[in-house]
Structure 1
Amino acid sequence: MGATTEQSNGNILIIEDSPTQSAQLRHIMETNGYHVISACNGREALALLSGQTPSLIISDVIMPGIDGYELCRRIKEREDSRNIPVILLTSLSDPHDVIRGLECGADNFITKPCNEKHLLSRVSYLLESRNPCQIEARSGLEILFGGERYCITADRRQILDLLLCTYETAIQKNDALIRAQDELSRLNQQLETTNRELEAFNYTVSHDLRSPLTNISGYCQVLQELHGDTLDPTCQDYIQEIYRATMRMNDLIGDLMEFSRLNHQELQRQEVNLSTMARIIAVELKSKDRERRVEFRIADGIVGNGDSRLLQLVLVNLLGNAWKYTGKKENAVIEFGVTNTEGKEVYFVRDNGAGFDMAEAHRLFGTFQRLHSKQEFEGTGIGLATVQRIIQRHGGSIRGEGEVGKGATFYFTL
């Protein structure tokens, strides 16, 4: 930015311990016609002031040794430098910053990172308006702020300048916040629209895929019924494998459609007896394989507030996973219970099955993510992603813990 000011240039003392920020300030000031003197800390700055009198001082607040407030106080206490305007570089993140600035006699604030236009305008204003002859005798005014006592030695002009500067900075930050909120709102709306389009696409594709799958599985059954006696064993195996593959694909499509519908369903929250729900699911699982020896330990009286149909889907998936991954265990145990953590109910499903490596835990709830091969355990890789989405829609969270060969536990809140 080129210089547009018409006032005579002055000497600017910049006190900044960061070489990068010091160079940036130097560039701004020299580009606009000012002569710059630099110091990297407060002690060096005080030594420089003994031999020369700059027109204005710009100092960082946070510095090793003497900080910006203490440095400003010492500058204002000296007869040879008390009339030099001092601008402090600060974040203005704490209301006490303004009080400390008034207490030490600072003339103005500039927030970091520096805005070149505002910096130059304040430098120009202070150099043009500051009249040493009008400086008042400084008698300390003691105030109480935030439980701390401060002695304000700034004159009325300094106080007015500093408060106006603070107000201007607050307005700038508020405008920036409004712009950021507007941009965030726009991006959120865009994201919601994209998600709706993706879910609609997912649902449409999944629905359309079911028709040819139904035809394929139907023709497989027709071939077996009409020509099963004439087909050799190899052909019968091929047909069986095609049929099983269509069933697996059908299950995957069903899971995808269920997953895509989750965000569109309105929650119908009510008190749900989760213990009863879990026992019904356990009976259904046992009926699928009556020869398996599985002990279900379901605590009594577990209730939760949520959508009954969606919570059933959570337990179907979690208990179904526990059933599946204990399939190679001779004496399998599946437990459903609740514990209290920091005053909040945490539900859990625990098993003593295959477990998993905790190093892979970050993949548990991703779609199509599987920690075990399809040869070991069947599945579509969507179940836990569905569970997580339901839990999140209820305002809760879910996490998994496991150890290879020793089982897994899934904890969730509502």
Structure 2
Amino acid sequence: MKNDIGLLLIDDDPDFLSLSRVFLEESGFRDIITAHSSHEALAILTTRSFDVIVADYELPPGTNSIILLKTLKSMGNETPFIIFTGKGREEVAIEALNSGAAYYLQKGMEIEAQFAELRNMIFQLAEKKRAKERVERQEVELRLKNEELEAFCYSISHDLRAPLRVIDGYCGVIQNIAEKDLDPNVRNYLHGIRASSVKMNVMIESLLKFSRAGRLALECQEVDLSKIVWDITTTLKEQQPGRDVTVEIDDRMVVYGDRTLLMMAMQNLVDNAWKFTGKTSGAEIAIRKKTDAGQTVISISDNGAGFDAASAENLFRPFTRFHTESEFPGTGIGVATVYRIIDRHGGRIWAESKVGAGAMFSFSLPDCRSRAGGDNAGHGDPVS
């Protein structure tokens, strides 16, 4: 690796600059550029980048390498910076390190040993810088691939809906025109086709929502989760007036995040609790808020069917389900969507459950007001 490390050496002493270059070249470094002043160094840095900068403390015209370092920092240049100088004052070393210098190395009589130390410093800093750059490139590549995948998912899901509508429409026309004359088996086939098209349309709609959860930019604002949950449960009770479900909701569950995405997350979690208590006598659902280690934690618990948490390794991956369609219909997209939403807020989600003893989904939610930038995005990707 040494042969391709880019070095910028800055020193107003041409003899010491030449000596430094000779030693470093003998040590295997080949890409070395020299400068005699701050102005010359800044001009060079506008044309190319380096892995490490090594500078004397005092630099013409009437300035020093700490000022140069601060100038580079203000320009967004984070190249590792070593000050290699005859200035031995402790206060200078402290100021240099506080200003962002990677190392402060003093010139002295044991020059060969000091050059050996300088060589090791350069190698370590270059290795660290390149490792960081590799990680940053991989993050960019991963983000681009995820964006492409989300766009593809959205496009395919959107395009699939049109032929499904045609299939369902033609089946309906056949039923309306000739259902009385059809063989009973044929009628059953038509009913099966229409039911499958409806189910697939639901799955496509879920995929669109899943894709949308990863595409929307986050907008930080005050969100009253208590009101959102009350609205959700009120609608569910109106849709199924025969259900006897006790719902407890903490008051003033106010958080800061993206209202649209958090509404989507709560809709999925409350819908799940409502669905999986469908066969439970005396169904109970509770939505609570607490503070844990300075972070807001929201939990949605129920006394429904539950699942075996020990086998829930892929719990938050799309299409993962622990119940058959005949037991509880669903697509397996809902909680995967919640995972994505909470992850984008910088929080995490987890579940606790036992078969026949209900389930509790909890998620932490950092305050988006304390996060820099417009998009408070989080990290990765993973039951409805």
When normalised by structure 2's length, the TM-score is 0.64
- Whether 1:302 and 2:230 are equivalent positions in the alignment is no
Aligned residues: 259
Contact (CA 8 Å) 2:150, 2:211: kept in 1 or not?
A: yes
Contact (CA 8 Å) 2:150, 2:215: kept in 1 or not?
A: no
RMSD of aligned residue pairs (Cα, Å): 1.9
| Partner amino acid, structure 2, of 1:263 | G
| Partner amino acid, structure 2, of 1:268 | E
- Whether 1:329 and 2:269 are equivalent positions in the alignment is no
For residues 265 and 407 of structure 1, the distance between their equivalents in structure 2, rounded to whole angstroms, comes to: 32
Match of 1:393 in 2: 344
For residues 342 and 238 of structure 2, the distance between their equivalents in structure 1, rounded to whole angstroms, comes to: 28
Change over 3 Å in CA distance of 1:404–1:205 after alignment to 2: same
Match of 2:140 in 1: 189
Contact (CA 8 Å) 1:297, 1:335: kept in 2 or not?
A: yes
Where in structure 2 are the equivalents of 1:247-396 lying within 5 Å? 247-396=198-347
Task: Give 1:187 deviation, angstroms.
Answer: 2.1
- Whether 1:410 and 2:361 are equivalent positions in the alignment is yes
Contact (CA 8 Å) 1:206, 1:256: kept in 2 or not?
A: yes
> 1:36-92: per-residue Cα shift (whole Å, max 9, x none)?
xxxxxxxxxxxxxxxxxxxxxxxxxxxxxxxxxxxxxxxxxxxxxxxxxxxxxxxxx
For residues 409 and 163 of structure 1, the distance between their equivalents in structure 2, rounded to whole angstroms, comes to: 61
Task: Give 1:159 deviation, angstroms.
Answer: 6.1
> 1:261-292: per-residue Cα shift (whole Å, max 9, x none)?
22221112211111111011001112222212
1:169 to 115, 120, 128: 120
Between 1:301-310 and 1:233-242, the stretch displaced more is: 233-242
- Whether 1:220 and 2:195 are equivalent positions in the alignment is no
- Larger relative contact order (Cα-Cα within 8 Å, sequence gap ≥ 6): 2
Contact (CA 8 Å) 1:361, 1:401: kept in 2 or not?
A: no
- Higher-Rg structure is 1
Between 1:257-266 and 1:232-241, the stretch displaced more is: 232-241
Contact (CA 8 Å) 1:324, 1:377: kept in 2 or not?
A: yes
Change over 3 Å in CA distance of 1:171–1:216 after alignment to 2: same
Task: Give 1:186 deviation, angstroms.
Answer: 2.2
Match of 1:245 in 2: 196
Task: Give 1:375 deviation, angstroms.
Answer: 2.4
| 3-state SS of 1:363 partner | coil
| Partner amino acid, structure 1, of 2:173 | V
For residues 112 and 303 of structure 2, the distance between their equivalents in structure 1, rounded to whole angstroms, comes to: 71
> 1:218-242: per-residue Cα shift (whole Å, max 9, x none)?
1222223223333354433322221
Change over 3 Å in CA distance of 1:198–1:343 after alignment to 2: closer
- Whether 1:200 and 2:200 are equivalent positions in the alignment is no
Match of 2:62 in 1: none
User: Percent identical across equivalent pairs?
Assistant: 42
Change over 3 Å in CA distance of 1:158–1:353 after alignment to 2: farther
| Partner amino acid, structure 2, of 1:384 | V
For residues 279 and 346 of structure 2, the distance between their equivalents in structure 1, rounded to whole angstroms, comes to: 35
| 3-state SS of 1:330 partner | coil
> 1:356-409: per-residue Cα shift (whole Å, max 9, x none)?
112123221001111222222111111111001101111111111101100000
Task: Give 1:192 deviation, angstroms.
Answer: 2.1
When normalised by structure 1's length, the TM-score is 0.59
Change over 3 Å in CA distance of 1:159–1:286 after alignment to 2: farther
Contact (CA 8 Å) 2:154, 2:208: kept in 1 or not?
A: yes
| 3-state SS of 1:362 partner | coil
Task: Give 1:315 deviation, angstroms.
Answer: 0.8
